[in-house]
Amino acid sequence: MAIDLAAMTWLNPPPSTELRDGALHVRSGDRTDFWQGTYYGFHRDDGHFLYQRRKGDFTAEVTFSGAYRELYDQAGLMVRADSTRWMKCGIEYTDGAKHFSTVVTNGNSDWSAFRIEHEFERLSLRVTRNKDALFIQYRTDRVSEWRMARLAWFDPSIEEVMVGPAFCSPQRAGFEAVFHEFTLTDPVSRDIH
């Protein structure tokens, strides 16, 4: 489904956005990021995030593409309670290649990433919240089945979260991404296998 800007709110609006044929074309600000402490020692909360509020369990899906070229260029999906409790996942450019990346932050951030070995233009993400868990899946425009990326703990006492597309470019300005579709619905399934 096309991006509905009227139903969404920006946290840290980017310098450039354009809605064209239902797709949201964006360009990042300079040295933007979401990260809390671990390993690097810095605390950053100035990445770009377009969200809807949602209570309880849900499934969020987003399809996006990006012009990745600099270290840590990234785009994907975020689930957020506040600046110290959130999850972001998607494509992050590191070691000269596109990696599927997930950062879970509960006070401090952790980071997991794996290289996607085949070429692709668009990636789709599916994040399903079930009570204390976020089930994270992906598929590319060359692979039709959903693949599991991570099952992450998320504080079940948090009733309402913000959910939606997120992107940033920690090393530069001007990273360009396109969010082609975004949906937020009741959970599609509790099945993992």
pLDDT at 192: 74
Residue 56 lies in a domain: yes
Residue 159 lies in a domain: yes
pLDDT at 184: 97
pLDDT at 90: 98
Cβ neighbours of residue 138 closer than 8 Å, sequence gap 6 or more: 89, 100, 123, 124, 125, 126, 146, 147, 149
Q: Which domain holds residue 140?
A: 5-122+130-185
CA 140 to chain centroid: 15
pLDDT at 129: 98
The 3-class secondary structure across the chain, one letter per residue, is CCCCHHHCEEECCCCEEEEECCEEEEECCCCCCEEECCCCCCEEECCEEEEEEEECCEEEEEEEEECCCCCCCEEEEEEEEECCEEEEEEEEEECCEEEEEEEEEECEEEEEEEECCCCCCCEEEEEEEECCEEEEEEEECCCCCCEEEEEEECCCCCCEEEEEEEEECCCCCCCEEEEEEEEEECCCCCCCC
Residue 169 lies in a domain: yes
pLDDT at 4: 87
Residue 150 lies in a domain: yes
Residue 190 lies in a domain: no
CATH number, domain containing residue 33? 2.60.120.200
Which residue positions in the chain have pLDDT lower than 70? 193
pLDDT digits (tens, 9 = 90+) for 15-70: 999 999 999 999 999 999 999 999 899 999 999 999 999 999 999 999 999 999 99
Q: How many domains does the chain have?
A: 1
Residue 114 lies in a domain: yes
Residue 102 lies in a domain: yes
CA torsion angle 111 179 82 102 (round to 10): -10
Residue 61 lies in a domain: yes
pLDDT at 2: 80
